[in-house]
Every structure is written in C-alpha cells, then in structure tokens.
Structure 1
Amino acid sequence: MSNLPYSFQTAARIVAGNGSLDRLADLVQGCGEVKRALVIAQNSAVRLGFAERIEAQLRQAGIASERLTGMMNEPTADHIGELHARIKETPFDVYIAIGGGSVLDAAKILSVLRTNKERVEEMVGTDRVRKPGVPTVLIPTTSGTGSEVTPNAIVTFPEEELKIGAVSRHLLPAVALLDPELTLELPGPVTAATGMDAFTHALESFISNKANPISDMFALEAMRKISGSIETAYREGRSLKAREDMLIGSMYGGMALTGSGTAAVHALAYPLGGKFHIPHGVANSMLLPHVMAFNYDAIEERLAEAATVMGLREGRGASRTAAAEAVIEKIAEWTKTLDIPQQLAAFGVREEHVPELAVAASKVTRLLDNNPKPLDIPQIEALYRKLLA
C-alpha cells in the first residue's frame, strides 16, 4: 500500500436500484437547462427497447432528442472521430449513453471532443483533456467496466495494435444510473467476461502499489459482492438479486481502480485486445491467476484478506498461506465454471506472436508501475506462454 497522499473522485451523482431508469427525465433536468439530448445507444439497447424508453421519457418532459447508434464493440480513435463529425453541428445539452463499457467510454470522449480542440489521439494519457465536456448521463447494461464512475476511457489504436486509456476528471459523468433490470437479458458469455473484468478491477486495485484506504474499501466490497453472485448470475440470468450485486460490485470495482489503478493483468490484456480482438474480460480472466501467482510473494497478505471477503477462509484458524492460495485457485476455477477459454491459441495467438505482445505490454507503464513486482520483457513473455502451454 502506498504511503503517498491519495485522492478520489467519481460521478457527481449516482442513482441505483430496480426501475431507476424511470427516473431519467428528472435526472437529466438536473444537469442544467436541457432542451436537446443525444442518446448514444448500443445496438442491444435499441433491440431491447431501452433507447425507446429513454426517448419517450424525454419527449414527455419536453426535451428533444436524437439517437446515435452504430458504435463499434471496441471503438477506435478514428471511429470516435467519425461519430463526432456526425453530431458536431447539432447543439446538445446532454449526452445520455446506454450500453456496455465501450459505449460509455466513447460517450465520454465524444463529450469532451465537443468542447476541446484536441483530437482523440491527443487526449489519451493522464490529464490531457483541458476543458469539461457536455454533461453526460451514463447507464451501464453490463456489470464489468465500472466506466460509469471512473475518469477513464479506453480507445483502440489498430495501427499500434493496442488499447490506450484517457484519464481525466473531465471524463466523469454528471449522473451514473444503475438499474439492475437492464442487465437481466445479458447472455451467459457476456455475464462471465464482464463479471470477471469487474473482479479483476477490484483485486488488482487491492494489490496495486497505489492502494490506499479509500480504494481498499471499494475493492473489498466489490470482491465480496462479485464472488458471491457471479456464478448465480451466469447460471440464472434472471436472478435480480445476483444481477443487482454484480452491477453494484462492478461499480465498486470502478471506484477502486479510480482510487488506485489496475496493474499488470490489464497491461498484458491490452495487446491481446488490440491485436487479436480478444474480449477484454476474457483476456483479464485468462491472465489473472498467472499474474497473481507471479506476484504471490509480494501480495500473500493482501490475497489472504481478499480470501476473507470472498468467503474462502474455513475459519480463523486457516493459515495466511492457505487463504492466499485459495484465492488464486478460485479464480482458476471460475474460468472453467464460467466457460471462459483457457488457451490463447483459440484466438489465433501462436508462439511467434509472444515477443511482440510482450514488447507492446511493456509500454503500458501507467499500469505496470502499479504492479507490486516489476516485470521485464522475458517475464512478460513467460506469462503469455503459460496460456499457450
């Protein structure tokens, strides 16, 4: 845990609970004088009728709206720029985004493109967004990224075969709205991948070099909620209790990473997404037990604390070592129980790709610097090879 000063910021307002989407119009009007809204909707949110519900509320409140769709699953800088070009001539007072993390991240970037002269490429990195953007209302329909409460937005750069984050307080939304009912239709594979992504946020934030009392609080509660509900949510998708715990757990995971940051798992996952388009949650799931095992001698005590909130300690008599090892074993068990692929070969990754993946991962210093143990390129290569064996 860091002894340096720490800080924490999140969404200006958080509204959660079953049926909370029905409060949207009132929440939007709390963003200032709103006459026209842009609804940025994932295709699934349109198909399930969520976008239409939002627009109906806005009409009833006397707010005009337009809909922006066609979002890529992993938006590139060029794609976000193209979307901005489609909407920049129309004045909007608020951007309302509904969907998974990619849609929410893109909405954040679109909001600041409206008010800043910099291009997307110039915004990635830390604190490179100069001015606040259009107020945003972010509505997650998956329980994974926690993007609705973070100052982060991830952008894909195909030419570099990498995903890079923009981090700025100006990316925080005016409102985060979490309605568990919107996640009831999530397919099993998406539930598994996004849920493991959220758990990774929590655990990595907890073992991060920048962990602090604020991030620890959110990380531990995120792990408690997710570990107690992820298997039920996967097997019984209509379980509202499990869905609510996953959604709140995901939010807490986002708050944890906002306070301390993720580490080597995410650094190694980004090249896998950028080059081979492996879903981010899947890449995290595959890497997580191996990276935790690599870090083990530096994080045993922290893993033992995680075991307690995960319900893995049989009693106070359980040794710290046994408890810590149980966490890594449980993660590996989840990847099998949740039917997450175990081998990178399933995505076309071969031995000859390992050196370039390792070089790409080594450049993600923003996250590698958070890892409890330093990693050099041969060690990164060795971690990738564990998923090729």
Structure 2
Amino acid sequence: MSVYRFQTVNQIISGENSLQSLGEHLYTVNRDIESALVVTQPFCLELDFIDTIKNQLQARGIKVDVVTDILPEPTVSNIERVFQDICNEKYDVLIGIGGGSVLDATKILSVLKTNSQSIRDMLGTDLVESSGIPTVLIPTTSGTGSEVTPNAIVTIPDEELKVGIVSRFLLPKLVILDPVLTLGLPKPITAATGMDAFTHSLESFISNKANPMSDMFALESIRLISSSIVDAYQNGADIAAREKMLLGSMYGGMALTAAGTAAVHALAYPLGGKYGIPHGEANSMLLPHVMEVNMEAITERLSLVAEPMGLTVSGLTPEEAAKQVVAQIVQWTETLNIPQNLKKYGVQEEDLSALAVSASKVKRLLDNNPKTLNLKEIESIYRKLLA
C-alpha cells in the first residue's frame, strides 16, 4: 500500500445550537483576541446569526467588524476588493459564516493578511508561503465541506475557469457545525449543496488516491446523506435530517482532503467559470454521466457504495449493483428537481469543444480519475446534458 496522509481542522464543535458556545471556545484559536472580522454575505444579516456572534464576542470585550461583499461564486477580483478594504486593519481572528464561497473566501483573506503573495501566486498546490490569521469557519449549507479542507476555490473570469488553492495553511483552527443554521435553506440550495457533498464522497471513494482513511469518511458520508437528503429537501425544518446532512458534508470534506475529487469536478469547473452555473448544480448534472463513462474502471468500487446508500443489492453481481447506484443518483436528481439541461444556462452544441478543452486543463483532478478521459469522451458527457 502506498503512503497516504490526512489533515484537518484543529477542533470541531457540533450539535444543535452549538453556535451559542462560540465565545467560550475561542480560546482554542487565540488566547489574546482583541479584534475579529466576520466574513459573510448580505442575506445572513437578515437572520440572527451575526448578532449571535457579535453579542458573544462583544461580551468578552472583542471588537467586531463585518464584511458582506463576498459573491456567491467569488472571483479573484472580488476577494481582492474585499482585501483592500481590510488590509490596513488588525484582526486576531477571521470568522467565516455562510456557504462554501464565504468559507473559501475567509481562508484566502486569512493568508492574504500575512503573505506578500497575490491570489494568483497561490493558485495550485502548496504554494502559500506561510500561515494566515487564525480562522473560525461556520457553514450554513451542507455541501462543500470547506470547513474541514485545505482547499479554496476561486473563479477566474478571463480564463472562464474555477481554480483551487490547496495548502495546509488554509485549515481553520475551529469549526462550528450547528444544524439550526441550515433550517432556512431554500429547496434548490438544499438539493444542490447536498448533491455536491455526495459527489465529494463518491468521487473520493473511486479516486486513484482512495485509501483506508478516505474510505472511512466517504462511506459514512454516503450513508448519512443517502438517508437524509430527500427528507431535508421535502421538510426543511427536519432538524435530524439537517444534522445528518451537515455531518455528511463534513465527512465528505474530510474524504476529499485525504483522496481528492476527480472528473466530475474537473468538468464542473468550466461550467461555473464560463456560465456561472452553481457548483453543486454542475456536479449534480454531471455525476451520473461521468460514473457511466467511468464504469469499466470502477464497477467493483461503485458496487460497494450500494449498501451504504440503502439499496437492496443482495444476490446482484457487482455490475448490477453498480448500475443500481447510478440509477439511484438519477432518481435523486429528478426528486430534487436538479436541472438536467445545459441549454437553460445558455450552453449550445458549438460550445462543447471549447468546454472539453477547458476541462482537460484541470489536470490535478483528471489525473485522479480512475479512467483516463480524452477530449471526445469529455465532450460526449457534456453533450448528454443538451438533450
């Protein structure tokens, strides 16, 4: 067996209303916090999350500033503009509360504060030179698992692509997983982010770098999400389903940290970069089609996730069980009303060749795919979504 490694956040606090304990756990981040920056998006100001954070910190004599300018799919320039507004301010901790875009942006702002590098200097793996301002990450969606990964994704409009920064220096000091914060998620966001989390786990399980550590997290994530995603979608106030989704998302993040994602994500990045398709939706649309193209290389592995998904496959061959897995994914996308046609976003037949070329450049992820995909195969996958 080859050598593998695992790394994640220093401390995780989880459970219903766990946000209420943020203040008492800040000592694990920094014992001498005088000022904090909360990074979020405008919609969070309409809820009581931010006031809950501010009140706890201010009660401890901590000065609190709030920025809300992070875009849903943040670009390099968007994060740079936010950084310019805060670059001269001293903060002892950055607190990101929101979806994956906010958490990723918080990580990047953290290392921008302490490094002389630009965002573009950091794009890639292990290029960040030194640690950043300590961070606390608090997800309000159950999708990216960003709170426990060393990854941050940004959009580069001039290249029509989304690119990752991967560095141990992006790992937060503290994570708060409070399912109460996800109760108000609209159905489309519940669906897209939930399927994004499932994609993380499934791709990690079939990836070339899959290992015993990633398998453990991936299979538990698959079990949790499979048993709760429809319930969370149909009844957003189901706190038990919401908690399973939040834990499943976190475990998915841990799985991809140890094993990495593959072709689904590689093909999703150009869709987000050029057409602004939300990442979770792009992954959800692509997932069954990529699995079918990969099938010859993943039949055995794919059959092993049938049982954690709750499928009855006793007596079936691995091939039959693997097909059941793909069929269940297709059924979920229908139940969850995930869009299935790229034309909705303006994609045309004549765009597919350029999309395939863009996806082929995401070598970090395609090299992790269990089957080597050529341009023709990549283009054919996109074409299935133009029906």
Note the alpha carbon deviations across 1:118-175, whole angstroms, 9 max, x for none: 0001111000001000000000000000000000000100000000000000000000
Matched, 1:345 2:343: yes
Matched, 1:183 2:182: yes
Residue identity in the other structure for 1:161: E
Counterpart of 1:31 (choices 25, 29, 32) is: 29
Give how far 1:321 is off: 1.9
The aligned residue for residue 360 of structure 1 is: 358
Distance in 1 between residues matched to 2:313 and 2:287, nearest whole Å? 23
Worse-matched range after superposition: 206-215 or 25-34: 25-34
Distance in 2 between residues matched to 1:137 and 1:25, nearest whole Å? 11
Distance in 1 between residues matched to 2:338 and 2:201, nearest whole Å? 19
The aligned residue for residue 6 of structure 1 is: 4
Distance in 2 between residues matched to 1:161 and 1:227, nearest whole Å? 33
Residue identity in the other structure for 1:360: S
Matched, 1:328 2:326: yes
Distance in 1 between residues matched to 2:320 and 2:291, nearest whole Å? 15
The aligned residue for residue 61 of structure 2 is: 62
The normalised TM-score by structure 2 is 0.99
Q: Does the 8 A contact of 1:37 with 1:63 survive in 2?
A: yes
Runs ≥4 residues deviating over 6 A: none
Distance in 2 between residues matched to 1:382 and 1:184, nearest whole Å? 38
Note the alpha carbon deviations across 1:14-52, whole angstroms, 9 max, x for none: 110001001111122321210100011222221112111
Matched residue SS, 1:306: coil
Distance in 1 between residues matched to 2:281 and 2:126, nearest whole Å? 29
Worse-matched range after superposition: 306-315 or 274-283: 306-315
Matched residue SS, 2:147: helix
Distance in 1 between residues matched to 2:78 and 2:278, nearest whole Å? 18
The aligned residue for residue 215 of structure 1 is: 214
Matched residue SS, 2:251: helix
Mapping for residues 1-389 of structure 1, pairs under 5 Å: 3-32=1-30, 33-315=32-314, 317-389=315-387
Q: Does the 8 A contact of 1:161 with 1:275 survive in 2?
A: yes
Distance in 2 between residues matched to 1:44 and 1:139, nearest whole Å? 15
Give how far 1:376 is off: 1.1
Q: Does the 8 A contact of 1:41 with 1:69 survive in 2?
A: yes
Q: Does the 8 A contact of 1:28 with 1:94 survive in 2?
A: no
Note the alpha carbon deviations across 1:162-213, whole angstroms, 9 max, x for none: 0000000000000011000000000000000000000000000000000000
Q: Does the 8 A contact of 2:23 with 2:57 survive in 1?
A: yes
Identity fraction in percent? 59
Residue identity in the other structure for 1:301: E
Note the alpha carbon deviations across 1:94-121, whole angstroms, 9 max, x for none: 0001000000000000000001110001
Give how far 1:319 is off: 2.4
Residue identity in the other structure for 1:15: I
Q: Does the 8 A contact of 1:200 with 1:288 survive in 2?
A: yes
Give how far 1:318 is off: 2.7
Distance in 1 between residues matched to 2:262 and 2:127, nearest whole Å? 21
Q: Does the 8 A contact of 1:44 with 1:99 survive in 2?
A: no
Give how far 1:314 is off: 4.1
Matched residue SS, 2:96: strand
The normalised TM-score by structure 1 is 0.98
Distance in 1 between residues matched to 2:348 and 2:210, nearest whole Å? 35
Worse-matched range after superposition: 33-42 or 252-261: 33-42
Residue identity in the other structure for 1:299: I
Residue identity in the other structure for 1:313: T
Give how far 1:327 is off: 0.5
Q: Does the 8 A contact of 1:362 with 1:368 survive in 2?
A: yes
